Amino acid sequence: MDLYPLPRALTTSTYVYSLADAEEVAGWASDLGDRLPPMVEPSFLLAAAPRGVTAEQLGKVAIVTAAAFADSTDAAVEALAPLGCCPAAGRALQAQVAVPATFDGLFDAAAMFWPEGRRYAADTAWSNAELGDVVSRLREPILAAPSSESVVLATLSPEPRGVDPAADMAFSWPDGPCSTAMPCGRSEPTTK
């Protein structure tokens, strides 16, 4: 097993958009994983607006976020720069650009979308459709979700670099976005 040192400049950028911009942003973000260096982990979410952001449609927004696991601040800032190139970036409801982070901070940020003590029913699907098309089909369901804490997460994984994706694999690399819808509730489990 190889061990690697912790990144010295863990940095995040997060852009929050109106749900009205979700399809455009998702279409732009669909190949974001391919445009970013491997040290960056990007995600796209449909979720409740973060604190301090006013959302127009039932408190829901589209979010593009990424963490750069870099060895220098300059490398992290450069690696995250493509997030600011979204055609809708000027309409972002909130932009937190190249913010120094810690691993505890990443966990705290995730906890805003997946609060402790809740029950989730995750449903994951791969699609050959473009992410913008997938998001257009998920906009109404996220607005009608049973809880304001329900979330849709789309991974923005890059295509494998320098690897035959089907070589020696029981599971071939998917062609298209992966999205996971997670209705959330506060109900207590029943015991029999």
Instruction: Look up the pTM and report it.
Output: 0.86
Tens digits of per-residue pLDDT, 124-143? 887 778 889 999 998 888 99
Strand residues in the chain grouped as ranges (E): 9-18, 40-48, 60-70, 94-100, 119-120, 123-126, 151-155, 178-182, 184-185
AA letter at 189: P
Q: How confident is the model at residue 108 (pLDDT cuts 50, 70, 90)?
A: very high
Tens digits of per-residue pLDDT, 83-102? 999 999 999 999 999 999 99
pLDDT at 155: 83
Rg (CA), the chain: 17
Tens digits of per-residue pLDDT, 144-188? 888 888 899 888 876 655 656 555 555 555 555 666 766 676 655
